Amino acid sequence: MTSQWGVRCRWGMRWKVAGAVAVALTASLGLSACGGDEAGASDGTFTVGHSEPDHLVPANTTSSYSFDVITELFDNLMTLDGGGKAVPLAAESVTSGDQKVWTVKVRAGQKFHNGEPVTAQSFADAWNNAAYGPNAMSANSYFSYIKGYEEMNPEDENAKPKAETLSGLEVAGPDTLKVTLNAPFSQFPLLLTYPAYAPMPKAGLKDLKAFEEHPIGNGPYQMDGNWERNKQIKLVAYPGYAGPRKAKNKGVTWKSYSNADTAYTDLRAGRIDVLQTIPSAKVPEAKRLLGDRFLARKMSTTDYLGFPVFDKRFANPDLRKAISMVIDRQGINKAVYNGDFFPADSLIPSIIPGHRDNACGELCAYDPAKAKQLFDKAGGFKGTMELYFSNAQPTYAQWMRIIANSLRDNLGITDVQFRQVPASDYFSMLRERKEKGPYRQNWEADYPSPQNYLENMWGSADNRMGWKNKEFDDLIAKANRTADQQQALALYNQAEDIAIQEMPMIPLWTWAGQGGRSKNVENVTITPYSTGLVATDVTVK
């Protein structure tokens, strides 16, 4: 009868764009829109559209489409409040004296959807399963903070791991879990909000294949039937749920779309109730048609331009700053993104605690004259400037072209070449450091902490640029040791300043989320974090 669904972020890999031309043509035919009928029988459930998830085992995915479903099936120890702070969910408390040894108290009396009690062991089992290298779980690296991870993931790829469990996990009672980390980490409660840290019932760990088709969680919703691949995933409110986020509706169905334009058409037709991402070509029309049912939100997803600092030609920070200053962020935003995105003024997007307005200052402002001075001071640039980006979305080529024009007009770099790499090849290329020029880099917050951005993308241990800065690393480590969040944020900001002054990677803009809802539902909140749509709050007419 009715259909329902919603969507979040990163359409790139799966959604094909055959639509732009067709859209233009049909629009020019003067087709008027109609409001769409009321979505079907009101049985208290609603539908959201998104892309097909890749996995439903929490630790085996880093895809936001999977998170859409997983965050509703599972209660992690911690969740995020509206301001991006970590608050207890399945936990009674998460505390530490030294930021290295953490004591987790699990709230008593919780049950999985199959009746199995949720204990400290449920979390330990799930995390051990996720951290064990040979299980090849996608989110494996998110457990590297916990002591014993190295023994389970040996450096030598062909060696057998020395341990099958994390030595840093100690179940000290049915409700008590002691977690020892490799190093002090003040952001640990935020990390615990990441979907991969969900608990697993014993039944699930015994048979992951069956669990994938019918996940058994401890969250406010349970599966209604199995995962209908490429069609839909039906969730219904779990009557035995005793946690703090009881569903205000009877259920939610996530419908899969392979084409973003079609999802939007179905939203207009009232066949789905929520869509988290409207394709950017349709946004102006959607604003007009949906009125107050158009849902705009800030996001954490940010685009960057990274430099291969290991290449001598890019070793001079002045050259990198000059390139940053000839990028007309606001101009590109208007030309490519309808002016909806947010030009970057810092390395950290505005929705992350610890963001400072204008931290980047003049280095992120369009100023061709100053840029030229810096460029000349750095000794200019010889040879071919190659710009790398993947073919996942057509907008990448659009803004890369604008940047190339600016490099030519303002800095006199005439020999600019585009290197549009197939998406399946792009990340391996960066991994192997085969790129010979600036490349597009993108980051979406796993959890709202500056550390998630700075350490993962600029930390010397594992950054793609080959940029090494001891002072930066020390400041991050110091912030990670600091219990007081305000002090920690100040230290992250100091590290951020170093990365800005050296500019091994230029911040470009932060994405805007543009969704919509049908007349059938109200109280639709889409958070900018990995929790996404707050399905439990949605009320159905």
With CB under 8 A as the contact rule, the residue among 11, 257, 342, 366 that binds other proteins is 257
Cα separation, 252 vs 276, in Å, equals 14
Nearer to other proteins, 206 or 431 (CB): 431
> 509: buried, middle or exposed (CB in 10 Å: 19+, 13-18, 0-12)?
buried
* Under rule CB under 8 A, residue 261 binds other proteins: yes
**# residues contacting other proteins (CB under 8 A):** 71
* Under rule CB under 8 A, residue 455 binds other proteins: no
Per-residue binding string, other proteins, 29-48, x by CB under 8 A, is x-xxxx-xx-----------
Cα separation, 146 vs 185, in Å, equals 10
- Which residues, at least 6 apart from 433, have a Cβ–Cβ distance to it below 8 Å? 308, 310, 464, 466
For other proteins, the binding residues in 77-116 under the rule CB under 8 A are: none
Secondary structure of 517-541 in HEC code, one letter for each residue:
ECCCEECCCECCCCCCECHHHCEEC
- Which residues, at least 6 apart from 530, have a Cβ–Cβ distance to it below 8 Å? 64, 67, 71, 193, 194, 195, 444, 445, 446, 447
* Under rule CB under 8 A, residue 19 binds other proteins: yes
* Under rule CB under 8 A, residue 21 binds other proteins: yes
Tokens of 194: 């990441």
* Under rule CB under 8 A, residue 54 binds other proteins: yes
Residue 208 CB, shortest distance to other proteins, in Å, is 9
Which residue has tokens 């005439």?
414
* Under rule CB under 8 A, residue 263 binds other proteins: yes
Long-range contacts of range 162-169, CB-CB < 8 Å, 24 or more positions apart?
A: 164/128, 164/132, 165/124, 165/128, 165/132, 166/124, 166/127, 166/128, 166/131, 169/124, 169/127, 169/128
Per-residue binding string, other proteins, 158-187, x by CB under 8 A, is x-----------------------------
Per DSSP, the residues of 143-158 read GTTBTTHHHHS-SSTT
* Under rule CB under 8 A, residue 369 binds other proteins: no
Nearer to other proteins, 17 or 322 (CB): 17
Residue 448 CB, shortest distance to other proteins, in Å, is 16
Tokens of 416: 């600019």
With CB under 8 A as the contact rule, the residue among 373, 456, 460, 494 that binds other proteins is 456
Residue 274 CB, shortest distance to other proteins, in Å, is 16
For other proteins, the binding residues in 271-300 under the rule CB under 8 A are: 271
With CB under 8 A as the contact rule, the residue among 98, 108, 172, 231 that binds other proteins is 231
Return the SS3 of 233: strand
For other proteins, the binding residues in 120-149 under the rule CB under 8 A are: 133-138, 140-141, 144
Cα separation, 130 vs 138, in Å, equals 8
With CB under 8 A as the contact rule, the residue among 330, 350, 442, 494 that binds other proteins is 442
* Under rule CB under 8 A, residue 225 binds other proteins: no
Q: Please calculate the CA angle 281-286-291 and round it to the nearest 5 degrees.
A: 155
Nearer to other proteins, 56 or 120 (CB): 56
Residue 536 CB, shortest distance to other proteins, in Å, is 25
With CB under 8 A as the contact rule, the residue among 8, 255, 282, 329 that binds other proteins is 255
Residue 54 CB, shortest distance to other proteins, in Å, is 5
For other proteins, the binding residues in 488-527 under the rule CB under 8 A are: none
For other proteins, the binding residues in 407-426 under the rule CB under 8 A are: 422-426
Q: Which stretch binds other proteins (CB under 8 A): 83-91, 102-110, 214-222, 225-233?
A: 225-233
Tokens of 198: 């969900």
Q: Which stretch binds other proteins (CB under 8 A): 154-162, 184-192, 233-241, 355-363?
A: 154-162
Looking at this protein, which amino acid is placed at residue 304?
Y
